[in-house]
């Protein structure tokens, strides 16, 4: 048997958004006639069927386990049993704190091909090729898995768009072996990250890059973003310098602007790592004094000029 199995994630009774993003990832890997199945583990897995009924899902597999929340022993055992029963050629899970607890151990035990933090996956000449960052996200690394009949990929969140809802696919129950877990969730404690912005959900982003020159210029762009109703974002050099929190970084090692409809890039050169975070944006406006900047290659509208002068003109309009 072949096919693609997606391992969905839920927490405190809510389906995690990355679960649907994995379904989109699967579409790039499925072969003609191949099915995509989504497995959901939980104490009441049937409660997630409606949320998982999206375009691209052929089957939802409910796996009833004793623990209402994630625990590594339960997931490793249940997912391992599912793989043994179904022998899929691809398993997709999120690159998340949950998968850190079971995916590597499972891949080692079953001898699977394995890659983490994957932001692109495709079949090339029939073989799975996964792309992830390397050397501190300075290069892209393509990985293949010779001799492995089954490959487990942990996919980075906020990279693929979630599909639309669809008529309910068929639902199948899978009886996983029950194991005595060494861990149990006791309570959830909400921690503040100090900056509650969600770049992945922002529909209008004003992003600044190293072209602003120094940290003292940041407040005027924050003020401009507030004035025009945009969320202030940045490229990696700004976040690395500590001028803005890491949560506001757009790019391969930051967040993907998956919901953004309008993206204004001011002083952003357009390095490939930054462009990876903008691939879902429909309208990009680039402002840069360098007419040869890479950002103009993806922008729908471009302005070659002084970003501070353009920012002042924009501010006068609001």
pLDDT in tens, 210-221: 999 999 999 999
Per-residue pLDDT tens digits for 262-272:
999 999 998 87
274 pLDDT higher than 90 = no
Per-residue model confidence (pLDDT) at position 103: 96
Alpha-carbon distance 234 to 308, whole Å?
16
Q: What is the distance between the alpha carbons of residues 257 and 244, in angstroms, rounded to a whole number? A: 17
Q: Is the dihedral of CA 235, 118, 105, 96 positive or negative?
A: positive
- Model pTM? 0.76
What six digits make up the tokens of 262? Answer: 């309008």
Write down the pLDDT at residue 184. 77
pLDDT band at 194 (very low <50, low <70, confident <90, very high): low
Q: Which secondary-structure segment (H or E) carries 273?
A: helix 272-275
Q: Where are the domains of the chain?
A: 4-174, 199-317
Q: Which residues pair with 174 in a beta bridge?
A: 63
In CATH, what number does 4-174 get? 3.40.50.620
Q: Which of the four pLDDT bands, split at 50, 70 and 90, describes residue 192? A: low
Per-residue pLDDT at 191: 61
Same fold, 4-174 and 199-317: yes
Rounded to whole angstroms, the Cα distance separating 58 from 61 reads 10
pLDDT exceeds cutoff 70 at 289: yes
Mean pLDDT of 174-187: 84
The tens digit of pLDDT for each residue in 225-271 reads: 999 999 999 999 999 999 999 889 998 777 888 889 999 999 999 88
> What CA–CA distance (Å, rounded) separates 23 from 218?
38
Under CATH, what is the fold of the domain 199-317? Rossmann fold (3.40.50)
Q: How would DSSP label each residue in 179-199? A: ---S-----------S----G
Q: Which residues pair with 143 in a beta bridge?
A: 130
What number is the average pLDDT over the span 70-95? 94
Contact (CB, 8 A) for 250 and 198: no
């Amino acid at each position: 048997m072949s096919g693609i199995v997606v391992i969905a994630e839920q927490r405190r009774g809510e389906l995690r958004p990355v679960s649907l993003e994995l379904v989109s990832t699967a579409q790039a890997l499925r072969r003609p006639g191949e099915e995509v199945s989504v497995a959901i583990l939980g104490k009441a897995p049937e409660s997630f069927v409606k949320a998982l009924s999206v375009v691209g899902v052929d089957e939802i597999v409910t796996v009833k386990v004793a623990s209402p929340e994630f625990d590594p022993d339960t997931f490793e055992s249940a997912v391992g049993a599912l793989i043994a029963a179904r022998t899929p050629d691809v398993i997709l899970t999120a690159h998340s704190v949950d998968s850190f607890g079971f995916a590597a151990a499972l891949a080692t035990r079953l001898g699977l091909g394995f890659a983490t933090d994957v932001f692109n996956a495709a079949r090339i000449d029939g073989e799975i090729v996964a792309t992830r960052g390397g050397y501190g996200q300075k290069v892209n690394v393509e990985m293949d898995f010779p001799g492995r009949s089954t490959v487990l990929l942990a996919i980075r969140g906020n990279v693929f768009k979630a599909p639309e809802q669809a008529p309910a696919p068929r639902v199948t129950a899978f009886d996983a072996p029950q194991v005595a877990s060494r861990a149990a969730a006791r309570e959830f404690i909400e921690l503040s990250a100090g900056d509650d912005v969600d770049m992945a959900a922002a529909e209008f982003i004003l992003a600044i890059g190293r072209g602003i020159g120094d940290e003292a210029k940041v407040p005027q762009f924050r003020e401009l973003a507030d004035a025009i109703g945009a969320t202030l974002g940045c490229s990696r050099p700004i976040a690395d310098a500590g001028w803005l929190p890491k949560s506001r970084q757009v790019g391969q090692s930051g967040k993907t602007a998956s919901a953004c409809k309008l993206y204004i890039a001011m002083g952003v050169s357009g390095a490939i790592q930054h462009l990876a975070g903008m691939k879902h944006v429909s309208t990009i406006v680039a402002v840069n004094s360098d007419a040869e900047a890479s950002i103009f290659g993806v922008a729908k509208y471009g302005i070659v000029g002084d970003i501070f002068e353009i920012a002042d003109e924009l501010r006068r309009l609001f």
